[in-house]
Amino acid sequence: NAGVTQTPKFRVLKTGQSMTLLCAQDMNHEYMYWYRQDPGMGLRLIHYSVGEGTTAKGEVPDGYNVSRLKKQNFLLGLESAAPSQTSVYFCASSSQGLRTDTQYFGPGTRLTVL
């Protein structure tokens, strides 16, 4: 049981390049999330998904797109990277509990945009 995994762990892009970050979970969770964390700050929600085929915007969605074609995978895309998107990106997943819910996080992807 690997939990939540993220690919790649590190990436350097030039301004204007595109890339896709992959998140995978093997816990059969319905909910998946993408966060970004800038130095000295807490995590901010980019997009999330409440089930296969559905996505929704979080706090800071601009410049990102997501897809949830399979329940176990949640992809985050940057179509035209900007230096302001330099950050650490965390994926998380959770099950939809009756009253409570805890999120399980991946190890993160460090992205630098030059």
Partner 1 sequence: DAKTTQPPSMDCAEGRAANLPCNHSTISGNEYVYWYRQIHSQGPQYIIHGLKNNETNEMASLIITEDRKSSTLILPHATLRDTAVYYCIVRGNFGNEKLTFGTGTRLTIIP
Choice from 20, 44, 52, 63 touching partner 1 (CB under 8 A): 44
Q: Interface with partner 1 includes 39 (CB under 8 A)?
A: no
Query: Could you say whether residue 45 binds partner 1 (CB under 8 A)?
Result: yes
Verify binding: residue 67, partner 1, rule CB under 8 A.
no
Q: Is 58 helix (H, G, I), strand (E, B) or coil?
A: coil
Question: Under the criterion CB under 8 A, does residue 63 sit at the interface with partner 1?
Answer: no
Asked if 64 interacts with partner 1 (CB under 8 A), we say no
Question: String of b and e for 89-101 (b: at least 16 CB within 10 Å)?
Answer: bbbbbbeeeeeee
Q: Alpha-carbon distance 86 to 95, whole Å?
A: 29
Number of residues binding to partner 1, judged by CB under 8 A: 29
Verify binding: residue 2, partner 1, rule CB under 8 A: no
Q: Considering the rule CB under 8 A, would residue 41 count as an interface residue with partner 1?
A: yes
Strands annotated E in the chain: 4-7, 10-13, 19-25, 31-37, 43-51, 54-57, 65-67, 73-78, 87-94, 104-105, 109-113
Residues that bind partner 1 (CB under 8 A): 4, 31, 33, 35, 40-45, 48, 50, 58-59, 88, 90, 92, 94, 97, 99-108
